[in-house]
Structure 1
Amino acid sequence: MELLRASIITIGDELLIGQVIDTNSAWMAQQLNLVGITVSRRVAVGDEWNAIWSTLDEELEKSDIILLTGGLGPTADDITKPLLCEYFGGKLVSDPKVLAHVTYLFEKVLKRPMIERNIRQADVPDVCTVLHNRNGTAPGMWFEKNNKIVASLPGVPHEMKGLMSDEVIPRLLQHFQPPVIVHRTLLTAGIGESFLAERINAFETSLPAFIKLAYLPNYGMVRLRLSASGYDKETIEKIMEEQFTLLQEQVADVLVTNKDESMDQVVARMLLDRRETLGTAESCTGGYIAQLLTSVAGSSRYYLGSIISYDNQVKKHLLDVPDSTLESEGAVSEATVIQMVKGALAALKTDYVIATSGIMGPDGGSSRKPVGTVWVAVGNQDEIITQQFHFRFDRRRNIELTATNAFNLLRKFIISRGTEKTNSH
């Protein structure tokens, strides 16, 4: 089966120097994959004419579809539009529909006068199909050459997403007939990648040729993804479900979820199902756990609040951690996080509390408590369990791993409370 391949080119010096993180290409790849288009390459280039031109040449040799983002603004460093005009042998002309839209945005929405730079946003190559950008002033552009497609989109994420959904994806589906791509993903915890691979080796080798298994490891967790592609959707989905059921049986004792979701989403769903609530007492994570929870609409139904006790004075006065505990055991200790849970349960009146305290780095560690040492406690009014972790990464990564593992500890606590008393206090 011949795959329909796409390349994504993101344009901007800010991407190459790390000033802006490229989230556009990841989102675009997900959307393309959902409709059966395989992304074979993602390339970032600077605001440099020759670099963009040569990258276009290279990607048109490899892919059927080229999607570009960035470089469509009104300033001198935005060169994508004139470059594409020359590349496809056209000339810039003012598009009346685009001009009317830009005028409406400035005069009616933004309440600002138009200047020449804004008016030039309506200039488009006469060899392209104009893609209406309902969210901004820079139109998208669609070019066709030798049955290959080049589409240029703004780099502003919400404008790009609108154009992808409204214009690009529907046009690609009309122009091509992509195969069906089906994914099924599950998450395991408590088993390493190599041990997991050994366990399911027989299953993996017996998979039909059109189904592939991918291992996506994280600290203490491994995501397994089955992927299949073809044109007979009904048959593919039927066989995929059969294989996915077999895979779940193989890893039943370490299975966290059979959905493509994060650990915090798993916990949120559990709390919603049980109509129970959660609070957090965060030290080393500094509110990161709270941010993950509250980034989801509707989280107020299960998440009530946090006490960010970054300083010991806050631990003492708001969470009732005794001076004697902080002096004898230290802030990064089992005794401290246990009391943090107790104090937060009293203050927040929730069913459960997560507490974290650790040394995230790059300094602050000692021989007894090196950087990456973390204590996590979770519990309710009846029981508190704890776990110590030793992470070895940079500060940001250590914070992320603390949050993920804290959620997993709470997940296990919710499932097993009343049956397991290990490490209970």
Structure 2
Amino acid sequence: MKAEIINIGDELLTGQVINTNASYIGRKLSEIGISVERVVSVGDVEEAIIDELKRAYENFDVVILTGGLGPTHDDVTKGAVCKFFNTELVLNEEVLNQVREFLARRGRTELNEANKSQALVPAKAKVIMNYWGTAPGLLFEEGEKYVIVMPGVPKEMMGMMESFVINYLAQKSGGKVIKQRILKTTGIPEAYLYERLKDVVEEIEKFCKVAFLPSVIGVKIRITVKAQDRAVADELINEAEVKIRKKIDKYIYGVDDEEIEEVIGRLLVERGLKIAVAESCTGGLIADRITNVPGSSRYFERGVVAYSNEAKVQILGVPEDLIKEHGAVSRQVAEAMAEGVRRISGADIGISTTGIAGPTGATPNKPIGLVWIGYSDKDGAFAREFRFGDDRLENKQRASQMALEILRRKLLGIEI
């Protein structure tokens, strides 16, 4: 089966909102053997929606639309699909009760006309219940054509996909299973990564497809396989992963949606260790990422943003003479910051960052992008130098990523 995804909303065209819905839906459809061959963003214009729906309906087996199902005047998707399928809106009591219950859980007992309008659905559509919002999803099935309409709010759309759409379409597709796995790497540029994997990629592409996806914090390696059933797909994708790991395992920190802060959280819990962080150039970003993980209070003792030299001296106990002699952005100060935050917190591990994020502050010997990352534990302290680039925000992201990567490698006993 072939599919088109139509994402609706002026905000998508103007760049105010990033279209994450398309990537999620595309991935989920691929997993059940449905090939997404076209993704289109359309504004909140009824005629434009109808035109694109007509084109998609003529060329694809499955059409999925998201967005424009709300109760306001600029939500025109429901009217567009009514015109396309030549049907009228009717009141659905089940949806009305669901809307009433949803609002009651939020302390709102009275429904206004806008709320009630959410229960008006096309007569020819099957309702997909929305337990995460008020706008129901819609399913139109004519012959071997399937049109599914869902809200644009990611949480609501994902809920409908997981609770109904994926299983429904999997039963209809009956095609090959398409399975993907993402191996997340950091600390090695794309070109160097490919050089190490070139022979392996040539070998495994006999039964799968490999893609390299670079970003600010690392390179994702996407493995895609097609097979007759899930068991064979799993076997092939596992074989590809094993071959890749034999070459670059030290750089792989996570799989699929796994984030590096989740990985180090598990490692710290397993080892019964606590960590404290002293940040200068990253401004609290490392602490923010660590505490994004539920349960991080079990291993995260504290975070200190020691941005000024005075803060480094007064809070962390960095010797003032050390800063005068070597400068705040130096190996010696990074080590002293890591040792200081470990000492004052009583944590098992201290990590630190000090650097020149830019666009100002550089000197002939210390350019923009220079960052020292410090590490301290009971066995001693060290610091590593990095030169990330000239973009301030990217420098902060890269520095926080490498600080967490140094921690991961130390916990696993991997060479840094």
TM-score by length of 1: 0.87
Residue 359 and residue 59 in structure 1: after superposition, are their counterparts in 2 closer, same or farther (change >3 A)?
farther
Aligned to 2:214: 217
Residue 73 and residue 364 in structure 1: after superposition, are their counterparts in 2 closer, same or farther (change >3 A)?
farther
What is the CA–CA distance in structure 1 between the aligned matches of 2:320 and 2:57, rounded to whole Å? 67
Pairs aligned (count) = 415
What's the RMSD between the two structures over aligned residues? 2.7
Corresponding letter in the other structure for 2:405: N
Aligned to 1:289: 286
Q: What percentage of aligned pairs have identical amino acids?
A: 37
What is the CA–CA distance in structure 1 between the aligned matches of 2:82 and 2:206, rounded to whole Å? 44
Gaps of 5+ in 2: none
Q: Contact 2:69/2:150 (CA < 8 Å) preserved in 1? A: yes
Residue 164 and residue 330 in structure 1: after superposition, are their counterparts in 2 closer, same or farther (change >3 A)?
same
Q: Contact 1:376/1:406 (CA < 8 Å) preserved in 2? A: yes
The 5 Å alignment of 1:316-395 reads 316-392=313-389, 394-395=391-392
Corresponding letter in the other structure for 1:243: A
What is the CA–CA distance in structure 1 between the aligned matches of 2:44 and 2:287, rounded to whole Å? 38
Show CA shifts across 1:310-350 (max 9, x none): 33332222111233333443333222222211111012211
Aligned to 2:76: 79
What is the CA–CA distance in structure 1 between the aligned matches of 2:383 and 2:179, rounded to whole Å? 39
Aligned to 1:91: 88
The 5 Å alignment of 1:23-422 reads 23-61=20-58, 63-106=60-103, 109-145=106-142, 147-207=144-204, 209-218=206-215, 221-252=218-249, 254-257=250-253, 259-260=255-256, 261-392=258-389, 394-416=391-413
- TM-superposed CA distance for 1:187, in Å, is 4.1
- TM-superposed CA distance for 1:355, in Å, is 0.7
Gaps of 5+ in 1: none
Show CA shifts across 1:134-186 (max 9, x none): 22211111123452322111122322222122221222123222422233443
Q: Contact 1:283/1:311 (CA < 8 Å) preserved in 2? A: yes
- TM-superposed CA distance for 1:120, in Å, is 1.2
What is the CA–CA distance in structure 1 between the aligned matches of 2:37 and 2:268, rounded to whole Å? 39
Residue 48 and residue 398 in structure 1: after superposition, are their counterparts in 2 closer, same or farther (change >3 A)?
farther
- TM-superposed CA distance for 1:288, in Å, is 1.5
What is the CA–CA distance in structure 2 between the aligned matches of 1:128 and 1:353, rounded to whole Å? 58
Q: Contact 2:276/2:350 (CA < 8 Å) preserved in 1? A: yes
Q: Contact 2:183/2:221 (CA < 8 Å) preserved in 1? A: yes
Corresponding letter in the other structure for 1:281: A
Show CA shifts across 1:366-425 (max 9, x none): 4443332222112213222212222225333222211111112222333449xx8x9xxx
What is the CA–CA distance in structure 2 between the aligned matches of 1:239 and 1:111, rounded to whole Å? 52
What is the CA–CA distance in structure 1 between the aligned matches of 2:105 and 2:318, rounded to whole Å? 57
3-state SS of the aligned residue for 2:157? helix
Corresponding letter in the other structure for 2:2: R
3-state SS of the aligned residue for 2:374? strand
Corresponding letter in the other structure for 2:255: K
Residue 202 and residue 371 in structure 1: after superposition, are their counterparts in 2 closer, same or farther (change >3 A)?
closer
What is the CA–CA distance in structure 1 between the aligned matches of 2:356 and 2:138, rounded to whole Å? 50
What is the CA–CA distance in structure 2 between the aligned matches of 1:155 and 1:372, rounded to whole Å? 39
- TM-superposed CA distance for 1:189, in Å, is 4.7
What is the CA–CA distance in structure 1 between the aligned matches of 2:255 and 2:43, rounded to whole Å? 37
- TM-superposed CA distance for 1:133, in Å, is 0.8
- TM-superposed CA distance for 1:75, in Å, is 0.9
- TM-superposed CA distance for 1:86, in Å, is 0.9
